[in-house]
Chain A
């Protein structure tokens, strides 16, 4: 740290002092940012886990329904039933800003507003298990979207927290000590210079006086 060459001038000293002030302020701000991000992240990640467990349980249930449905129907019948989907989902993506992290917010629109209008097949040739399966999936969709939103937000925030943490650490453990050492070095160097100038002046004064009054001769 101290072996970094610093020119020992007053200009450099002022520059370093100013830099130290800015760095300290930046460090404090970044630390606050990190703490707040962390607080929000932790609550969000808990939601994320809960949602995920819910979605996974729901998917497992609906997968079971699908397997049941498939077991009572022929492969072709199932394929025909799903050939032309009736429903269409589109997403509107907006942004939310949490502590300077842009987080996508999804809003979904279905083509038909009737939530029961999801069966893309006539009921005559399909088993009722298939209806159950489709229903359970469609009930799950809002949660799945919520999960997508939360999980993405968590990923983005985790990345941002990591970045911020690195910055905080770099400031705290490298930049600030380095600057402080630089300031100390320059101050000492300048003090040293001042003392040597003082001594030199005293010596010169002595010599001048000696020349004018010849003290040493008189003493002898």
Chain B
């Protein structure tokens, strides 16, 4: 049985608690890294992480991108959308195809 976690600035994530997701408020890259590692070792299949929070620990996130679990998904936080989530999708296209042939056109 797996669980779902969401981590990021507490303002962005507190609402998810009502849905039964486990919330992990973090406010600096070091604690974010530690939390993420902890989550990955425990039974969390999906970890949502706010884009602001993810920006500081990109390396740590990339480590899990080729593992089956957990799925680490970037979501925009309350401070606005940085576009990192969309960029990640483009990045995987680039990795697979060699260049971004699908979404290259509609980048702003």
Contact = CB atoms under 8 A, between A and B. Distances in A.
A120 interface: yes
Interface range on chain B (Cβ under 8 Å from partner)? 35 or more
Contacts of B85: 52, 56
Interface residues of A, number: 59
Per DSSP, are chain A's interface residues mostly helix, strand or loop, or mixed?
Answer: helix
Per DSSP, are chain B's interface residues mostly helix, strand or loop, or mixed?
Answer: mixed
Interface in B90-105: 92-93, 95-98, 102-103
Given A45-B102, A148-B46, A149-B71, A89 B21 contact: yes
Given A66-B15, A86-B18, A88-B20, A151 B76 contact: no
Interface in B16-64: 16-21, 45-46, 48
A82 B19 contact: no
B45 A89 contact: no
B2 A92 contact: yes
Interface in A87-110: 87-93, 102, 104, 106, 108, 110
Q: Would you list the 9 A-B pairs with minimal beta carbon distance, nearest first?
A: A152-B71, A89-B20, A158-B92, A87-B20, A91-B2, A158-B96, A88-B20, A161-B96, A158-B95
